[in-house]
Structure 1
């Protein structure tokens, strides 16, 4: 079993935290507007928006924590390996952005026993079956990233 690492630097984590705060901004404002009568919504509309905003804010905040934990872990315990693409599946996300590539990889290295992993990333022209890339792996549970650390 393997898991794709969520990696990022301080800038990425900062942006996750900023997005969390932005999601949380309507939480105190909408109920106040509802009580004052300045908002023409039903109470349940406000409740849904508040709950959704809370959920998105916590999800973004936790993503920043996951990025930090995975990045630090791979920097400390990661081993260099080579990832070879076995299968490529392209996913159109239907929002006009870059399509996503789901790569089935065979990963191995001097200190990394061979294993297979799925890796989801924006599509790149260099992604072809048989192509090889540098990977960083924590062999304890095969946490893996293709992103340079």
Structure 2
């Protein structure tokens, strides 16, 4: 008598695909049939925001693509004027953070970050005050090289 090994059932959809598969029709339904208490414009804006948050959180698409989808959903149907949608890019703080990310990525890709960590790591072990003091001094020194603490 031969035994047959049973294979586990194949999963048809991944949880991410299922989430996005429910998110898109849900956002469309919200935009087309506004709930009580919301105007059509408010419901469409809420649908665009929820869709974007869902795409960001699920990782179904790249984060930059989710942002571009949001900009398109705000601008093409006229939900918000362009100056309001792109208002955040006029802030100096945004460009400070973006430049910090760019410099941080450059430091990581060149291996400079790992090299600095290899040099500082052994010297900061031994005691908690030494670790905190060393990290504080290192952050202060890096403050002159990198414009934003986000990238550090």
Q: Which has the larger strand fraction? A: 1
- TM-score (normalizing by structure 1): 0.29
The structure having more radius of gyration, on CA atoms, is 2
- TM-score (normalizing by structure 2): 0.29
Higher RCO by CA contacts (8 Å cutoff, separation 6 or greater): 1
